[in-house]
C-alpha cells in the first residue's frame, strides 16, 4: 500500500510539530504535560496516516469511487480518533488536557495549512 509523497510530507510535518511542542512542554512544564502533548500529537498524525492509507487504496480514477473512498477514509479517521482518545483517557489517569488537546489542534492546523501549501 503506497501513500503519496504529499501525504507523507504532511504526516512528517505533523510529527515534527508534535516533537517540538512536546519538547517545549517538557522544558516549561513537566513530564506529564510533555507526554500528554506527545499523545495529543500522536492522535493527530496517526489518524492522518489512517486516512492516507485508506484513501490511497482507491487507485481507480472514477469520481464516484474516489468520493466513496474519501468518505470511508474519513469515517475510519473519526473512529480511530475516538478510539485513541478513549484509550488515552482510560489508561493514563494523569493526563494534562491543555497539552493533549493543544498539540492535537496544532496537528490539525498543520493538516489543513499543509494541504494548501504542500
pLDDT, tens digit, 9 for 90 and up, residues 56-93: 776 667 788 888 888 999 999 999 999 999 999 999 98
Global pTM reads: 0.86
The mean pLDDT of 27-56, rounded to a whole number, is 92
Task: Give yes or no for residue 1 having a pLDDT over 60.
Answer: no
CA–CA gap between residue 105 and residue 95 (Å, rounded): 16
Q: At what angle do helices 97-117 and 31-55 cross, to 10 degrees?
A: 40
Query: Per the structure block, which three cell numbers stand in for 20?
Result: 517540538
Backbone angles phi, psi at 112, to 5 degrees: -75, -40
pLDDT, tens digit, 9 for 90 and up, residues 15-32: 999 999 999 999 999 999
Amino acid at each position: 500500500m503506497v501513500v503519496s509523497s504529499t501525504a507523507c510530507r504532511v504526516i512528517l510535518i505533523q510529527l515534527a510539530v508534535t516533537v517540538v511542542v512536546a519538547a517545549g512542554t517538557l522544558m516549561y512544564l513537566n513530564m506529564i504535560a510533555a507526554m500528554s502533548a506527545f499523545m495529543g500529537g500522536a492522535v493527530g498524525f496517526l489518524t492522518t496516516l489512517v486516512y492516507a492509507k485508506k484513501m490511497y487504496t482507491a487507485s481507480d480514477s472514477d469520481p464516484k469511487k474516489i468520493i466513496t473512498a474519501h468518505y470511508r477514509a474519513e469515517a475510519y479517521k473519526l473512529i480511530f480518533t475516538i478510539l485513541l482518545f478513549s484509550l488515552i483517557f482510560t489508561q493514563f489517569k494523569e493526563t494534562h488536557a491543555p497539552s493533549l488537546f493543544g498539540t492535537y489542534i496544532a496537528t490539525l492546523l498543520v493538516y489543513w495549512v499543509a494541504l494548501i501549501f504542500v
